[in-house]
Amino acid sequence: MADLFEEYTLKNGVTLRNRVVMAPMTNYSGNDDGTVTDAEVAYYDRRSKGVGMIVTACTHVLENGKGFPRQFAGYDDKFIPSLKRVADAIHAGGAKAVLQIFHGGRRSIPEEVPNGEIVSASDVAFPDNATPRPMTTEEVKEAIKAYGETTRRAIEAGYDGVEIHGANTYLLQQFFSAYTNKRTDEYGGVIENRMRFPLEVLREVKQVAKKHAKEAFIIGYRFSPEEPEENGITMDDTIQLVDALAAEGLDYLHVSHMEFFTKPHRFTGDTEKTRVQLLIETINGRTALIGVGSIYSFDDAVKALESGVDLVALGRELLIEPDWVQKAQENPSSIRTEMDMSMQKELAIPNPMWEALKRPNWIPGMKA
């Protein structure tokens, strides 16, 4: 049985010191000009000393893709020094640094994008947000190039890789989903067309990495397996996407869901198997799979790894317990699995993020 704390070598030859990954989490703590703050740098530094790899909060590849207030940006070369500060902080603790790149699409913030105009695959609004304008085919091509350009900036800033954010209902998922994609051009309609944008982004990122990276560069892709809407993504759809992504030769796939052992809600195959089991079968060893979802204790993580995933990601638990890996190796019973509200400073959680975490039933032990 694989050990959480043994080294793991990705397909491209990059070796992680262990199989524990810090999942990407939005922290709302950047400067208004799109650069990182000292508090953000300290937040990553605090969590870099145990895990094998850290995936950062998402950074937008185009100015009109900003999805969160005070999000650090990556759409222009002027942000390279800012991006480097985060990479350096992660490297200081010995972890690999992966920049998550995205576009908010219909979830972008009208007040914080040029001319207040948000774009998406089609004019399907996100609840309580403005109606987006459908992107032209030319704009789709420009966005593909923008993912590549932000990848180049990540390379120049010293990152070990990028994670393409195709999950959590942002732009790439908006194109993949029949619920949000009503297009009639080459990027809409049948599932092969709806997969086209994510696959072309991946190919562009691969091409840029091959051209600009002097050493092996990690390329991952994160996806959400299902959507609740009637015409939304089903597990059948995701199996097709994952199969296509795995065939492209990337270094890992990263599922995004709240509970690790969730079974599919809509699937024509074996519904007794968990989503993770189905994904492992589909990938069939072609690339690594990162599993995630409500993993708090050492036993939770061991059980997750025993499912057959290659890497285990911790998100909320690393907010509660930045020293999770060290404690898991030395004394697993000492791991905190509920937030201590008196420890914000010790946990190096920036004030805006701390306030944002106070939503009901999100972080165990967190109180308003």
Q: Residue 115: count other Cβ atoms within 10 Å of its Cβ.
A: 7
For residue 311, the SS3 value is: strand
Q: Amino acid letter at 313?
A: A
Helix, strand, coil in percent for the chain, rounding step 5: 40, 15, 50
- Listing DSSP states for 197-253 in one string gives HHHHHHHHHHHHHHHH-SS--EEEEEE----SSTTS--HHHHHHHHHHHHTTT-SEE
For residue 92, what are its two tokens?
Answer: 């200081």
Q: How far is CA 327 from CA 48, 211, 255, 337, in A?
A: 14, 41, 26, 12
Which residue of the set 159, 170, 179, 252 is catalytic?
170
Q: Per DSSP, what are the bridge partners of residue 311?
A: 290
For residue 331, what are its two tokens?
Answer: 């004394």
For residue 123, what are its two tokens?
Answer: 């004019």
Active site residue 170: yes
As a whole number of angstroms, the distance between CA 321 and CA 333 comes to 12
- Listing DSSP states for 139-202 in one string gives HHHHHHHHHHHHHHHHHHTT-SEEEEEE-TTSHHHHHH-TTT----STTSSSHHHHTHHHHHHH
Kindly tell me the burial class for residue 285, based on how many C-beta atoms sit within 10 Å of its own C-beta (0-12, 13-18, 19 or more). Answer: exposed
Return phi, psi of residue 56, to 5°. Answer: -70, 170
Parallel, antiparallel, or unpaired for β 288-291 and 119-120?
Answer: unpaired
Q: Which residues are catalytic?
A: 170
